[in-house]
A and B are shown apart, each in its own frame.
Chain A
Amino acid sequence: MAGSALRRLMAEYKQLTLDPPEGIVAGPVSEDNFFEWEALIAGPEGTCFEGGVFPARLLFPPDYPLSPPKMKFTCDMFHPNIFADGRVCISILHAPGDDPMGYELSAERWSPVQSVEKILLSVVSMLAEPNAESGANVDAAIMWRERREEFNEIAKRLVRKTLGIPS
């Protein structure tokens, strides 16, 4: 089983290296372990996260791609759909039926024909357009809805932090 997972992960890595989507770099942390990846995601232009480069880890299960990976930002994040410990909470990282956040029926879910690229593109969309209805971070969701200015300030501080610029 892990054999087919490894084959698939190697193919996905090759594809992402040859034809990387804009603003995304991703690959295994080490050549010895294809089941743990690091990704760097550029904050989408025209949003409060613009200019930042956000590092994250992806952990793949032995039965990937039958089951989805887990994803966690390794930098400080403040976002309605990211838990305080960095775990990303979006529908594509869950199979249907696994519904910790009560996602909408139409929300995109994990299936074996999805890919790392699709996940990372969804994460970019999530940064650009938070879903304040399914709050993994309730404080961030409330602030996003009710005190946008304050939210944007925090985001800008996080952007400077990822670039190593003192705030």
Chain B
Amino acid sequence: MDKIEQNDGTNRDELIMQQQREIEKEISDSTPLVSEQLPITCLNAEYLGDEVFTSKIQDLAGKYKFLRRTRPDGNCFFRAFAYAYLEHLISNKDEYLRFKDLAEKSKDKLVQLGFPSFTLEDFHDTFMEVVKRVDPASGSTDQVCDELHKVFNEQGYSDYVVVYLRLLTSGKLQEEADFYQHFIEGNFTIEEFRHQEVEPMYKESDHIHIIALCTALGVGVRVEYMDRGDTHVKAHDFPEGSTPKVFLIYRPGHYDILYPN
């Protein structure tokens, strides 16, 4: 690629962007895509001497037994959600079958919504392959959980799962554009928002992404918010009033997975 990178001064902005990407990549590559289960108190090391956060970690440790970190690469919400939900399905066979059926049929729906079937296919195929690899009937719970962990740390599979969830999210936003339009800040149309903030990899997720994905899949998610305000972590369920199957912790800019007591 060196030939194309050669610059002539007009290209300085691109070089700066490239350098920034390399720095971000270095940070993110040092974190596994999805970590092992860790004690909640592992968070303390990041906030030594910080009373607000220390008290919040204590609060969180009363409700949750473990945390699983995800790589901070902008895809963390989607990766964390997919991992935590598939892990939930390993011990919930009926719901696994419901989800597998919904996932199978989702491709035709996206094509109907206007996604190009040719490029969609690869992502759907890989997504279904991952779903089938964690079939609760394929082994003991421990074996299937190991398989899940393995497949989510293989970048090729893990990233394609993220892409497919992004497409499902984008599809939901389009399907119910009139509703979601109200949640979009700034001058974005739904169409622009989907192409700029949802479909491309590495773009961070906001409430609107979470609501659209949870609604599309019929899965409740609880997010515990840990920021500077108050002394307790604040929980929020998406969609409101649902029974959460997936538990996540949000710290400004990043999502990790939680395991309730």
Residue ranges of A at the interface with B (Cβ–Cβ < 8 Å): 1, 3-4, 7-8, 11, 15, 59, 63, 65-67, 70, 72, 83-85, 87, 95-98, 100, 105-106, 108-115, 136
* A100 lies within 8 A of B196 (CB): no
Expressed in whole angstroms, the Cα–Cα distance for A99 and B33 within the complex equals 27
Let me know if A15 and B118 touch, CB within 8 A: yes
Let me know if B120 is at the binding interface, CB within 8 A. Answer: yes
Report yes or no: A100 in contact with B17, Cβ–Cβ below 8 A.
Answer: yes
The answer to whether A95 and B119 touch across the interface, beta carbons within 8 angstroms, is no
Binding site for A on B (CB under 8 A): 1, 3-4, 6, 8, 10-11, 13-14, 17, 115-116, 118-120, 122-123, 126, 155-156, 159-160, 163, 167, 187-189, 192, 195-197, 199-203
Interface residues of B, dominant DSSP: helix
Residues of the A chain whose Cβ atoms lie less than 8 Å from the Cβ of B156:
1, 3-4
CB pair B159 A1 closer than 8 Å: yes
Q: Which residues of B contact A84 (CB under 8 A)?
A: 8, 10
Partner of B119, one of A1, A85, A115: A115
Q: Which of A11, A85, A112 meets B199, CB within 8 Å?
A: A112
Are the C-beta atoms of A100 and B13 separated by less than 8 Å?
yes
| Interchain CA distance A19-B3 in the complex, whole Å | 31
In the complex, what residue of chain A is closest to B189 when comparing beta carbons?
A106
Q: Which residues of B contact A106 (CB under 8 A)?
A: 189, 192
Bound CA–CA A73/B116 (angstroms): 27
Residues of the A chain whose Cβ atoms lie less than 8 Å from the Cβ of B159:
1, 63, 66
The answer to whether B4 touches A87 (Cβ under 8 A) is: yes
Kindly state the separation between the CA atoms of A114 and B163 in the bound complex, as whole angstroms. Answer: 12
Task: Report the 9 A-B pairs with minimum CB-CB distance, sorted nearest first.
Answer: A111-B199, A96-B196, A100-B13, A113-B119, A66-B201, A4-B156, A111-B200, A1-B156, A1-B155
Can you name 23 A-B residue pairings with CB atoms under 8 Å?
A1-B159, A11-B118, A15-B118, A63-B159, A65-B119, A83-B10, A85-B8, A87-B4, A96-B195, A100-B11, A100-B13, A100-B14, A105-B196, A106-B189, A110-B200, A111-B195, A112-B123, A112-B163, A112-B200, A112-B201, A113-B120, A114-B119, A136-B10
